[in-house]
Each structure stands twice: as structure tokens, then as C-alpha cells.
A and B are shown apart, each in its own frame.
Chain A
Amino acid sequence: MPELLTLFVVYYGSQYLVTAVSTALFGVPLEVSPFFAGMVALGLVMASYASEVFLAAFRAIAAGQYEAGRALGLQKGKIMRLIILPQLIRLALPGLSNLWLSLMKDTALVSVITLNDLLRQTQVAVSSTRQPFFFYLVACLIYLGLSLLSSIAIGQTRRWASRGMVTR
């Protein structure tokens, strides 16, 4: 299902739902802000991808790790916190960072539901200056800069997460 479609369904669907509920409860229709709808829609998409990443990461952790934790007499919560999670972060990081990068690009879609994000402000700039190519190029470069910054941050995090690993 395309992200754009999710966005529309959440935006108009929640609008419909909230208006119906609020008129029934208070007698006044409330409005869903585009920001909230965009956040929920992208959050849902992200959640579905991230759960796949976490599932794969959990599966990649050997059962022996749990058994070793139990053999040490650790409680379930402690096994999770002390043994599984530190490994999980390292395993899930590549998938999560990919998701982060694609999420950043997907945020550009919220301009369609009239949220004043980078792309929408660019449209405003274009309509007042009539220089579409220049301004859209600048917007692209800003997105590029953002993903460059995040890949640097991801690289640092990866180094931190795999600090206990033998480097080949």
C-alpha cells in the first residue's frame, strides 16, 4: 500500500471519525490537524516496517543467549535488558537506519495534505518567484544534506553498537 494512500486514508478517515465522535459527544465538530494526521500515517507505516526489522533481529539472536541468561538465574526482564537488547540494537541498526532514511524522504509527502513542510514552503517560494527549478533543486539539496548528516550519525551509532565485536 503506497505511503501517499495511507496518508490520505488517515487524514480524511480520522477527520471523518473525529468529527463524528466530537459532534456526538460535544455537539461541535473538531478538526484533525494535518500535522497529527501526517504523524500518525507515517508512524503507522514506520511501525509496520520496523516490526519486521525487530522480528528479524530477534530471530537472529541464538536461543543459547536466553538459556545462558536463565542459567545465570536472571529474571526475564533482566535477560531482555542486559543480554538481548544490547545485541538487538546492533542487529536491528542497519534496517532501522534504512527506515530512517526512507522515512525522511517520505515526510515530503505530507506537503500534499497542506502541512507546511520543506517541500510546501518551496512551493510557496516558487509561486512567488517563478523560479521552480532553482528552488526545487535547493530543496533537494537540503534533503540530501539531511540524509548526509544522518548517515554520519548512523555511522557513529554503528561504531558504538558494535564496539564489543571483533573487527575484521
Chain B
Amino acid sequence: MTAVISEAPPAAAKRSSITATGLVLISIWGLIFVGIVWALVNSVDPERLASYGGRIAQGFVVTVELVIASMLIGALISIPVAAGRLSTNRLVAGIAFGFSYFFRGTPLVAQTFLIYYGAGQFSSELKAVGMWWLFRDALNCAVIAFALNTAAYQAEILSGAIRNVPRGQREGAAALGLHKWLTLRKIILPQALVSAIRPYGNEVILMTKASSIASIITVLDLMGQTRYVFSKTYDLSFYFWAALFYLATVEVVSHLVNLVEARLTRHVRPPSTARG
């Protein structure tokens, strides 16, 4: 007992020295943060805000549209890819793996360039098929690139979630004489999708952040408009406003995901918390 008491003070002294360096570090970060906020508040110029605020808001709408469109199209594409990933056929599984490996292993910027500029190389062929209108617009190209990219990730989420459903569930359904598709629809998918909600939410957040890449191929999304405004005004604070927009979006999405998850998993929570 006495040994413990005599040991304690030096340990406490050491801990306080560590917190001192920690305090210094935190105060440096705090100072930087305060400086940014001060610079932001200081640089608010109502005239500029009035003339460029609309543009930023428009850009924000384009970003939201871009994310929603590519997420939905990506979800559609991801279904066959996920089926391929789960397939026992070697060729099908290989193709699906190749698709997913390519789009997950290469930078999204490179993919976007590949589609936007690469389509230009086949403009005469595309015109002959009547698809040129689709690839002529930068926004469409961005949606295609993002959709393919997110499809690869979503296919991984989906196939992983389906794989994680215990085998007994499938066997139980087979024992009940349920058809394969009915098993999938009524037994496997409801359980798989519950566990997939969180990864899907992460994917939406990643997509929101990645959507700024569209600005490089001349799409006027939130980032694109901000770059335009910056090139007109040389006012750095617009980048911080754009950052706030992105942060707010990410925050809203993650809170929505939390709500949805809490709602859908209310039956598996321990009874004491579920009632309270």
C-alpha cells in the first residue's frame, strides 16, 4: 500500500509535463483557428457577398445534384457488379473484380480525364452511334466517371454485406422451401442492407468530397464557382466559405445516417435502451 502511494507522485508529475506540451500544441492550433475565423469575419464584404453569393449557392446546388445523380446511377451499376463479385463462375467473378480493382485502384481525377478527354478521341464514332451529346457536356462526363467510380465501391459494400449474412439464414430459408429470389429479397437483403447503411453513408460523404474534382473539367459546381469567384476577386475567404459548405453537407449526411441506422436497428438494440 505504502509502495503504491510513494510511486504515485512522480507519475503524476510526468503526466502534467506531457499535458503542458499538449496544451502548447493545442493552443497553437487554437490560435490558427481563431486567426482563420477572425480573418473570415474581418473580410466579410456585403457588396461582394451580394454579387457572388448567388454563384456560390448555384454551385452548391450543382454539387448536390452531381452527388445524388452519381450515387443513384452508381447504385444501379453496382448491383450487377456485386452479383459478379459473389458469383461462383470464375470468368464473371474475374471481370467484376477487374472492374472494381481498376476503379478503386486509380485516382478519380485520372478516371474523369479518361472519360472527359478520352471521349473526344472517339468523337466521330460516338457521333455515329448518337451518343456524342452525352459525352460533350462536362457535367455528364463527371456524372459518368463518378457513377462508375462509386459503383465499384458500392459493389464492394453490397457484396461484403451480403457475404456477412450468416449461412444459417440461407439454409433456414432453403429448409422452408423458399425460392432463391424470394430468399434474397425477403431474408438476405433486409439483413445485409442494415449492416450496409454506415458504409453507404461514408460513401456519400466521400462522394461529396470527391465531387469537387468535377471543377477541374470545367463543371461549375461549388468548387468550380468558388474558383471562378476567387479568380475574379483574389479573395481567399471564399475558399473558407466553400469549406464551410462542404463541412455542413458532410455533417448533415452523417447525422442523417445515424438517425436512419438508429431507426432501422431498433430491434437489435438491448431492450433497456430500446425502451428508454
Residue contact B110 to A143, C-beta cutoff 8 Å: yes
* Contact indicator B114/A137 (Cβ below 8 Å): yes
Q: How many residues of B contact A (CB 8 A)?
A: 38
Besides A4-B216, A12-B236, 9 more A-B contacts (Cβ < 8 Å) are: A2-B208, A2-B209, A9-B240, A105-B108, A109-B107, A119-B107, A119-B109, A140-B106, A143-B110
B246 near A136 with CB under 8 A, answer no
What chain B residues lie within 8 Å of A123 (beta carbons)? 113
Whole-angstrom distance between the Cβ of B226 and the nearest chain A Cβ: 8
Q: Tell me whether A18 is interfacial, beta carbon within 8 Å.
A: no
Stretch at the interface among B69-77, B117-125, B159-167: B117-125
A68 to chain B, nearest CB (A): 15
Which stretch in A31-39, A54-62, A81-89, A126-134 binds the other chain?
A: A126-134
Given the known inter-chain contacts A8-B227, A76-B14, A140-B106, please indicate yes or no for A2 contacting B111, CB distance below 8 A: no
Task: Report B109-147 CB contacts with A as 1/0, cut-off 8 Å.
Answer: 111011001111110000000000000000000000000
Residue in A3, A9, A132 whose Cβ sees the most chain B Cβ within 10 Å: A132
Evaluate contact between B106 and A9: CB separation under 8 angstroms.
Answer: no
**B26 → chain A closest CB, angstroms:** 13
Which residue on chain B has the smallest CB distance to residue A13?
B236
On whether the beta carbons of A112 and B216 are closer than 8 Å, the reply is: yes
B154 sits at the interface (CB 8 A) = no
Q: With A143-B106, A143-B107, A144-B102 in contact, do A5 and B121 touch (Cβ < 8 Å)?
A: no
Q: Is the CB of A8 within 8 A of B239?
A: yes
Let me know if A49 is at the binding interface, CB within 8 A.
no
A103-116 interface bits toward B, Cβ cutoff 8 Å, 1 = contact, 0 = none: 01111110110000
User: Do residues B121 and A133 form an inter-chain contact, with CB atoms below 8 A?
Assistant: yes
Q: Which chain A residue has the least Cβ–Cβ distance from B119?
A: A133
Cα-based distance from A144 to B120 in the complex (angstroms) = 23
A119–B246 touching, CB < 8 Å: no
Instruction: Report 16 cross-chain contacts, Cβ distance below 8 Å, ordered by A residue.
Output: A2-B211, A2-B212, A2-B223, A2-B246, A12-B239, A13-B239, A76-B14, A105-B106, A107-B107, A108-B109, A122-B110, A133-B117, A137-B118, A140-B106, A140-B114, A143-B105
Q: Which residues of B lie under 8 Å from residue A136 when comparing CB positions?
A: 110, 113-114, 117-118
A6 to B101 alpha-carbon distance, docked (Å): 27
1/0 contact string of A10-33 vs chain B (CB within 8 Å): 001100100000000000000000
In angstroms, Cα B203 to Cα A79, docked, is 39
Do A132 and B109 touch across chains, with their CB atoms under 8 A apart?
Answer: no
Check if A97 is an interface residue, CB within 8 A of chain B.
no
Question: B233-257, CB under 8 A of A: which get 1 and which 0?
Answer: 0001001101100110010000000
The answer, among A8, A108, A133, A148, for a CB contact under 8 Å with B110, is: A108
- Asked whether B246 lies within 8 Å of A5 as measured between CB atoms, the reply is yes
A74 close to chain B: CB less than 8 A: no
Query: Known contacts A132-B117, A132-B121, A137-B118; is A4 also within 8 Å of B111 by CB?
Result: no
Closest B residue to A10 by CB, please name it. B239
Q: A1-B243, A2-B209, A126-B117 are in contact. Are A147 and B105 (CB under 8 A)?
A: yes
Instruction: Flag whether A93 is at the interface (Cβ < 8 A).
Output: no
B215 interface contact, C-beta 8 A: yes
Report the Cα distance A44→B216, complex, angstroms. Answer: 22
